[in-house]
A = this chain, B = another copy of it.
Amino acid sequence: MSTEQQKRPDERDAIVKSISRVVTLPEDEDQETLVHYYSQMLLVRRFEEKSAEMYNKARIGGYCHLNLGEEATVVGFCAGLGPKDYVYTNYREHGYAICRGISAKTVMAELFGKETGCSRGRGGSMHLFSVEHRLLGGYAIVGGQIPLATGAAFAIAYRGSDEVVVCQMGDGTTNGGPFFESLNLAKIYKLPIVFFIVNNQYGMGMPADKGSAVPELYRKGCAFDMLSERVDGNNVLAVRDAMRRAVNVARGQHEPVLLEAVSYRFKGHSVIDPDRYRNEEEVKQGRAQDPIPTFARRLLEAHLIDEQGLDRIEQQVEREVEEAVRFAEESPFPPIESLMDYIYAPDNVESERR
């Protein structure tokens, strides 16, 4: 898994650049799991479409960044983790929150700024959090989450427990000091952490290969002798497997790992971005990689599901998203009297040993 031999024989992590390929499903996968991945990807897709709609209806404010196009990466990422592992992300994290097990309701409620939201309405779209689900936050300062995640991994090593921290970030984040400092720190202290780059090929309007001296971002691991790998972010199984390999190394050997998933951002940087700066042809090609229909085709061809099955999932998902909106709508805003709560933690709150 070193930078030298990142291609795997079964090619699951090979990069599919332009044509979307249908790989037949490996034998060893069980049906339920595969179908579950599909419905999760679809849930993220529909949740994000709904988020955009709610944003345009002014139910959601501030900045709202979506995972549209990144569903295979998001689902594969979470599928590769254990329940006790910790996740840190950037502000484009709705999908991660949901796939980590936070209900679509509490996520949507957070986007609405309601007391029932997973951050009690204080954080909003960019700042989802749940101690229970070990999502330790979406962060909006580019790169800010990386030293935090490294410190969480330090705490795990300090305690000698066996969780792993996975820190998600975007391609544009890998040109900043916090990224590099953290990789060095994680390596010298031998911390159980996976740095996960979602290369959706843009940082706002900046193409990933324009802002970075090296176009293959996983290669930055070489400056730290860090195990590094690149994987096809449109292939949910490849992402999951790469994540599993990475997490195993981090857990078993306390070696940090750098993982890059190559994906594509379907829409603008955030809901308000009209996305005028990208070449149409390129966007068409990018969207042609859509991981969801591709995966559906694979399921159908492997006879793991039929059209009715897909429809049922579609309906379940729609219902779940509608439910989420209704719940968010009906939930109360935080009371004004609570404005000054949570600025300082009281002395008696013995900060939980997580």
Interface residues of A (CB under 8 A from B): 175-181, 183-184, 187-188, 210-214, 219-226
Which of A210, A220, A223 has the most C-beta atoms of chain B within 10 angstroms of its own C-beta? A223
> Assuming A180-B177, A181-B176, is B220 touching A214 (CB within 8 A)?
no
Determine whether the beta carbon of A181 is less than 8 Å from that of B188: no
Determine whether the beta carbon of A177 is less than 8 Å from that of B178: yes
Determine whether the beta carbon of A214 is less than 8 Å from that of B210: no
Determine whether the beta carbon of B175 is less than 8 Å from that of A184: yes
Which residue on chain B has the smallest CB distance to residue A210? B188
Which residue on chain B has the smallest CB distance to residue A182? B177
Expressed in whole angstroms, the Cα–Cα distance for A176 and B179 within the complex equals 10
Using Cβ atoms and an 8 Å threshold, which residues of chain B touch A180? 177, 179-181, 223
Using Cβ atoms and an 8 Å threshold, which residues of chain B touch A176? 177, 181
Determine whether the beta carbon of A219 is less than 8 Å from that of B223: yes
CB < 8 Å neighbour of A187 from B179, B183, B213, B222? B213
Determine whether the beta carbon of A188 is less than 8 Å from that of B212: yes
CB of A81, distance to nearest CB on chain B (Å): 25
Using Cβ atoms and an 8 Å threshold, which residues of chain B touch A177? 176-178, 180-181
Determine whether the beta carbon of B175 is less than 8 Å from that of A181: yes
A-B contacts, 22 of them at CB < 8 A, read A175-B181, A176-B177, A176-B181, A177-B177, A177-B178, A177-B180, A179-B180, A180-B180, A180-B181, A184-B212, A187-B213, A188-B211, A188-B212, A188-B213, A213-B223, A213-B224, A213-B225, A219-B222, A219-B223, A220-B223, A221-B223, A223-B223
